Structure 1
Amino acid sequence: MKAEPDDPPDTVVVGRIGRPHGVRGEVTVEVRTDDPDLRFTPGALLRTDPADRGRLTVAGRRWHREVLLLQIEGVDTREAAELLRNTELLVPVAELPALDDPDVFYDHQLVGLRAQLPDGAGLGTVDAVRHEGADLLVVRRDEGGQLLVPFVTAIVPTVDLAGGFLVVDPPEGLLDL
């Protein structure tokens, strides 16, 4: 488990290691991918943040109720598993499958886009995407503060990745601070 100096900077988080499970080195994983059974297959190589934890290889995977448990190569004690707690698991953007639906986006594609009103007036920049029952865009307002925008077609009718912006057509009250 050593850091690789050639890791590409363009990565996305697919999970975060939580607490150890049992005494044989298994770890719980907070899943942040739509397809964990594909992403966390035995033999999968995952980058880490913090990067000094190196690359991790999945040795085994199983579900315990609704919690994903991973066995990582070289991690075979509870103490070793505890050292990985809060490690984010990353994959290069280039390894993500293409999206077939033009109205579906990866979170990393939305972060950094300029948010503007239908008349072109700027609102701010998308800082994050939260998934809390409904998808919410966290927009850092140009004049300070932040705005939570439901990411639904009725409110965000246009996403122009090439142009670097999205349009927010707010219902009454959405922009009130």
Structure 2
Amino acid sequence: MSESTVVARIGKPHGLLGEVTVQLHTDEPERRLAVGAVLDTEAARGTGVPRALRVRSTRVHNGVWLVAFDEIPDRTGAESLRGTRLVVDDDGTDAAADDGDDVFREEELVGLRVVDPSGADLGAVAGLEIGAAQDRLVVTLTDGREVLVPFVEAIVPEVDVEGGRVVLDAPAGLFDLGS
């Protein structure tokens, strides 16, 4: 059984004709979300989401990727897709997966311990948000608060998947925002 790679996560509907926003998890959205591409889906059981979706159209609006699928003709159908992951079988030929150490899938990061440069425990990685300008790690701190951390080398200088940890060199005040 081959492993799947998440290409995008479906967000909210856009307009009345079945378009949805997507949170990208690929460096190649033009190829992965090309018109006619068929993507497998991962959704909660009982949602009625088709097992696969064929891309009808793709466009970028105000920096947000919008995708429509042949199987989803309207806003009601688009709403049912919210939270669905679009995946492809990882057959080892994906260039993005072979880029080296700078490409991480959310599945690799979730659960890793987050430590400061001295090794003190800060919490754990709870998720990864893909952004238009930069990605953000979702970190659950040891006190239970959830914070978003820019996933840039200046703040996250080390990701050690095998060692089960992420080093976070947080600037003063990063965790004080919103509290």
Task: Name the structure 2 match of 1:91.
Answer: 87
Match of 2:13 among 12, 15, 19: 19
Give the TM-score, by structure 1 length: 0.70
Describe the shift of the 1:143–1:68 C-alpha distance in structure 2 as closer, same or farther (beyond 3 A): closer
Give the TM-score, by structure 2 length: 0.70
Match of 1:55 among 39, 51, 56: 51
- The residue identity in structure 1 corresponding to 2:69 is Q
Describe the shift of the 1:38–1:29 C-alpha distance in structure 2 as closer, same or farther (beyond 3 A): farther
Q: How many Å apart are 1:169 and its aligned residue?
A: 1.8
Task: Name the structure 2 match of 1:38.
Answer: 31
The farther-off stretch of 41-50 and 116-125 is 41-50
Helix, strand or coil for the counterpart of 1:148? strand
CA contact (8 A) 1:44 1:57 kept: yes
Task: Name the structure 1 match of 2:111.
Answer: 112
CA contact (8 A) 2:19 2:78 kept: no
Structure 1 stretches of 4+ moved >4 Å: 64-67
Task: Name the structure 2 match of 1:151.
Answer: 151
Task: Name the structure 2 match of 1:135.
Answer: 135
Taking only the aligned residue pairs, the percentage that are identical comes to: 33
Helix, strand or coil for the counterpart of 1:90? strand
- The number of residue pairs the alignment matches comes to 164
Counterpart Cα distance in 2 of 1:68 and 1:174: 31
- The residue identity in structure 1 corresponding to 2:143 is E
Please state if 1:70 is matched with 2:68: yes
CA contact (8 A) 1:155 1:171 kept: yes
Describe the shift of the 1:59–1:16 C-alpha distance in structure 2 as closer, same or farther (beyond 3 A): closer
Task: Name the structure 2 match of 1:3.
Answer: none
The farther-off stretch of 49-58 and 120-129 is 49-58
Residues 35-92 of structure 1, C-alpha deviations (whole Å, 9 max, x = no match): 333223415132141344231331632437565342324x5x54xx623424124215
Helix, strand or coil for the counterpart of 1:98? helix
Describe the shift of the 1:43–1:143 C-alpha distance in structure 2 as closer, same or farther (beyond 3 A): closer
Q: How many Å apart are 1:29 and its aligned residue?
A: 2.5
Residues 100-122 of structure 1, C-alpha deviations (whole Å, 9 max, x = no match): 14223233332221101122211
Q: How many Å apart are 1:165 and its aligned residue?
A: 0.6
